[in-house]
């Protein structure tokens, strides 16, 4: 596999040709993707992690937005990851996660508690959480604590108050929504043996239509396993 090199770039510094390549990547792997919706979403973000091959061609990216969400008289601080894609030929690269960790874990020093807000349209995205983090919500092992549920709900309402279902913790979109193409990340009977994948499907059965499960984890070195700390920071 060709090595990818990642960088964190401000949205307003991206070149036109970079943005076109990013859109084409999304359109390759998602149904119902439109340039207008892609650009509207992109312009709401602060940064993008951009992954390039040895020829400088973008093979993956993940848009990021720093958020300060009101909750009961205080602000909850975190980063929201929006459109994210890595070309199938480069699955297995850890470069995206390294750049993300080195860019956003440092905010814990500034804010104390700093969260990662992640909306999961497919099981591969959800599986990032148990792979890297000791504690994340929701999960199959335990009920989500009240404080964390409040944070998830605050983000869901902030993101789309008319489409967020507090009962399920799912963003149930109205009308046509972009979704992963068939055979990109299908859930087979074999994959359902993984308890994390089975939980994701149970909690978000509408994933096949493009619905998103709202998830959260704390971005903290102490929330990473020793193995992941070595992978991401050493």
pLDDT tens figures, 71-118 = 999 999 999 998 888 988 888 889 999 999 999 999 999 999 999 999
| pLDDT above 90: residue 68 | yes
What is the sign of the dihedral through the CA atoms of 39, 132, 125 and 7?
positive
Are 119 and 83 spatial neighbours (Cβ–Cβ below 8 Å)? no
Q: Is 92 left (phi over 0), alpha (psi -120 to 50) or beta?
A: left
What is the arithmetic mean of pLDDT over 192-214? Answer: 92
pTM of the model: 0.90
- Return d(Cα 55, Cα 1) in angstroms, integer: 14
Binned at pLDDT 50, 70 and 90, residue 158 comes out as very high
Ordered by where they begin, the domains of the chain are 5-233 (3.40.630.30)
Check residue 199 and report its DSSP letter.
H
pLDDT reported for residue 3: 85
């Amino acid at each position: 596999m060709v090595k990818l090199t990642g960088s964190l770039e401000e949205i307003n510094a991206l070149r036109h040709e970079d943005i076109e390549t990013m859109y084409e990547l999304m359109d390759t792997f998602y149904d119902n993707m439109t340039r207008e919706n892609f650009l509207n979403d992109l312009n709401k973000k602060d940064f993008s992690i951009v992954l390039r091959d040895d020829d400088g061609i973008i093979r993956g990216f993940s848009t990021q937005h720093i958020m300060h969400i009101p909750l009961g008289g205080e602000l909850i601080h975190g980063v929201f990851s929006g459109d994210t894609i890595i070309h199938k030929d480069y699955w297995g690269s850890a470069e995206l996660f390294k750049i993300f960790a080195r860019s956003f874990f440092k905010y814990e020093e500034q804010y104390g508690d700093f969260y990662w807000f992640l909306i999961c349209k497919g099981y591969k995205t959800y599986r990032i959480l148990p792979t890297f983090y000791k504690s994340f919500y929701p999960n199959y092992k335990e009920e989500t604590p009240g404080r964390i549920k409040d944070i998830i709900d605050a983000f869901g309402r902030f993101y789309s108050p008319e489409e967020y279902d507090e009962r399920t913790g799912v963003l149930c979109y109205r009308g046509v929504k972009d979704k992963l193409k068939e055979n990109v990340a299908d859930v087979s009977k074999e994959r359902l043996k993984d308890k994390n994948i089975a939980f994701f499907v149970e909690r978000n059965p509408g994933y096949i239509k493009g619905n998103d499960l709202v998830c959260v984890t704390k971005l903290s070195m102490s929330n990473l396993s020793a193995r992941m700390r070595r992978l991401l920071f050493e």
